[in-house]
Structure 1
Amino acid sequence: MDGIDAFDRDVTAALMRVAAREGWSGATLPRIAAEAGTTLAALRARFADRAAILDRFVAVVDAAVLAGTMPPNESDTPKDRLFDVLMRRFDALAPHRAGVLACWRGVRRDPVALACRVPAALTAMRWMLEAAGIPATGPAGMLRAKGLLAVWAAAFRAWETDETPDLAPTMAALDTALTRAESLAETLEPLLGRPSRPQPDAAPGAGSEPDPAA
């Protein structure tokens, strides 16, 4: 992924703050620029539109998760590793929770806008697979990414209403979704091939597509 810099972090965080106050429809580019302490001209130099800022937020979250990723442990199951990675993704979203939910509730009302967010979401899931030591390249990798996106969506639905300090309902939903995905993966394994064992020094591989409101 392209390098994440301070401007990206400032602008995407500003989007989340404005959305938390004004909703997705009220998170206009002038308000985002003012919240970030920058200008519309500076925003235009980096982002094509508001949706591009939202997609960049997904990449900022990716980077936060990957920065805290240690080499995969061979003794852990793929399910265990994915559980850890995705819960750390929720940890990265936590400071922006109100804004994330406001953006999501706005975007999901617009089928076109929602469909346009799918590539960024799939790219994020490919990186999460790689962080868990599971190959995410090629056709098999794309199928795994789509499956993991379904898992993430199920857990995210629980997170939307989860006000508990330990996120127990979210963890339960994630565990259930991963168990179902694991069963499906075992069925499809002859077609997809078994994921290779994690390599301690392997860096996450990039997805081929460009980057839900995370």
Structure 2
Amino acid sequence: MEKSGSPKGRSTKAAASRGGEKGAGTGAETGAQAPKLPPREAAVEALMRLAAEQPWNDIELGDIAREANLSLAELRDLFPSKGAVLGGLSRLIDRKVLEGDTSDLADEPARERLFDVLMRRLDAMTPYKPALRRIAYALRTDPLSMLALNGVALNSHRYMLAAAGIDTEGPLGRLKLQGTVIAFSRVVETWLDDEDPALARTMARLDREIRNGERVMERAEDLRRLTAPLRALGRSFLERRPRRDRRDAGNEDDGNPLGGDPAAAI
């Protein structure tokens, strides 16, 4: 991946994006002020309002349904669990990022594109920051929930990398994807405690994580090149083995004129 300078030069577009988004109406508004939302989005927004005000483990499905003005039956049709509603927030954030214009990033190096896309993701998460801070604290001791959320994050960041023009196919692509999820989770930890409107600490952490990711990918690509002959030899062995097995099976059938299992001839 390409190298570049400090994050200061890359913060201009992200800061401009934040200014535009803060002026627009976004989630976590009170039910009386919020416009009529589609039921799925209403449930997500209801959960975020509740999570901003009370402990995560105290929130029940009935609370979400009431806050969203939905019946339990309607909520069940939308989401199977509270965790799934939280996963719905990730999809909502995905859409906000992907609907943004990224054409100005087309000529930028890959690391610049990724930096800007992930900053836009943080911008879209900003209205939910109080709720996310409480949720993150509650889920630190819940490994099963963290594992489920990792799957949600993999799906989201597959699209974030696509928006940055970075491929995610093949073994190295999967390594990039999981690495991005881990790196972004570290950036979010910094972001949750970063009260500076300019997000200087957050941007510095994001720049550092991207640089670390570049070094890991460079080593992985070197290792892949070094092991290419061994992988080619392994593929050749596996491709030849079935043919030998078929020849052996044919020899074993010589005693049976019909071939195969003798019982099949009865």
Q: What range is the shorter-chain TM-score in?
A: 0.7 to 0.9
Cα shift at 1:91: 0.4
Higher-RCO chain (CA-CA 8 Å, sequence separation at least 6) = 1
- 1:87 counterpart (119, 140, 147): 119
Misfit runs of 4+, over 6 Å: none
Seen in structure 2, the aligned counterparts of structure 1 residues 8 and 139 have a Cα distance that, compared at 3 Å, is: farther
**Please, what TM-score do these two structures have when normalized by structure 2?**
0.67
Q: Structure 1 CA distance, aligned partners of 2:41 and 2:171?
A: 32
Tell me what 1:203 maps to.
Answer: none
SS at match of 2:55: helix
Seen in structure 2, the aligned counterparts of structure 1 residues 161 and 16 have a Cα distance that, compared at 3 Å, is: same
Q: Which amino acid aligns with 2:154?
A: L
Structure 2: segments with no counterpart, 5+ residues = 1-36, 226-266
**Please, what TM-score do these two structures have when normalized by structure 1?**
0.82
Structure 1: segments with no counterpart, 5+ residues = 194-214
- 2:75 counterpart (40, 43, 57): 43
| Aligned alpha-carbon RMSD (Å) | 1.8
Tell me what 1:209 maps to.
Answer: none
User: Which of the two has greater helix per residue?
Assistant: 2
Answer whether contact 1:14 1:35 (CA < 8 A) is retained. Answer: yes
Seen in structure 2, the aligned counterparts of structure 1 residues 22 and 192 have a Cα distance that, compared at 3 Å, is: farther
> Which of 1 and 2 has greater Rg?
2
Q: Structure 1 CA distance, aligned partners of 2:93 and 2:86?
A: 11
Q: Structure 1 CA distance, aligned partners of 2:104 and 2:166?
A: 9
Instruction: Tell me if 1:173 matches 2:197.
Output: no
Q: Structure 1 CA distance, aligned partners of 2:143 and 2:151?
A: 14
Answer whether contact 2:183 2:210 (CA < 8 A) is retained. Answer: yes
Cα shift at 1:10: 1.3
Seen in structure 2, the aligned counterparts of structure 1 residues 68 and 74 have a Cα distance that, compared at 3 Å, is: closer
Alignment: residue pair count: 189
Instruction: Tell me if 1:120 matches 2:163.
Output: no
Seen in structure 2, the aligned counterparts of structure 1 residues 110 and 173 have a Cα distance that, compared at 3 Å, is: same
